[in-house]
């Protein structure tokens, strides 16, 4: 199956700093990538959908200026949490989907644990 990686797997940062999380599709070209957030003991919540080369589409209630998403290539999307605060501490998970001739299913990365002090 398709492999999706995330980096870093965990990060601790101070309040007010920005954190960048990378999501890579390792063996396929991902025309669409999805970013999810999961708080403890809760389910995954979709934050945004990004298509390569275009602006991300954010779900209702997700601040686009706080969670910057860049999908500049077919194998890489980044999520930057700007001016992070303790309430942003969460498990961030990306998934990727291939385009024509590729996969129509979503394949998930292993997640990134963000802790904001």
Q: What is the smallest separation between the CB atom of 13 and other proteins, expressed in angstroms?
A: 19
Instruction: For the CB of residue 95, give the shortest distance to other proteins in the complex, in Å.
Output: 8
Count, residues near other proteins per rule CB under 8 A: 27
DSSP labels, 36-96: EEE-TTS--EEEEEEETTS--EEPTT--TTTEEEEEEETTEEEEEE-S--GGG-EEEEEEE
Q: Is 43 in the site for other proteins (CB under 8 A)?
A: yes
Report if residue 109 touches other proteins, rule: CB under 8 A.
Answer: yes
**Phi, psi of 88, deg, nearest 5:** -85, -5
Q: Does 115 bind other proteins (CB under 8 A)?
A: no
Residue with smaller CB distance to other proteins, 10 or 64: 10
């Amino acid at each position: 199956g398709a492999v999706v990686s995330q980096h870093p797997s965990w990060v601790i940062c101070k309040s007010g700093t920005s954190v960048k999380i990378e999501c890579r599709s390792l063996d396929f070209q991902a025309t669409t990538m999805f970013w999810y957030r999961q708080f403890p003991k809760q389910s995954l919540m979709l934050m945004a959908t990004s298509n390569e080369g275009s602006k991300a589409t954010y779900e209702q209630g997700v601040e686009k200026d706080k969670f910057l998403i860049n999908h500049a290539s077919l194998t890489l999307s980044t999520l930057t949490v700007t001016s992070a605060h303790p309430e942003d501490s969460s498990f961030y998970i990306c998934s990727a989907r291939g385009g024509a001739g590729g996969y129509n299913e979503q394949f998930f990365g292993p997640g990134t644990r963000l802790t904001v002090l």
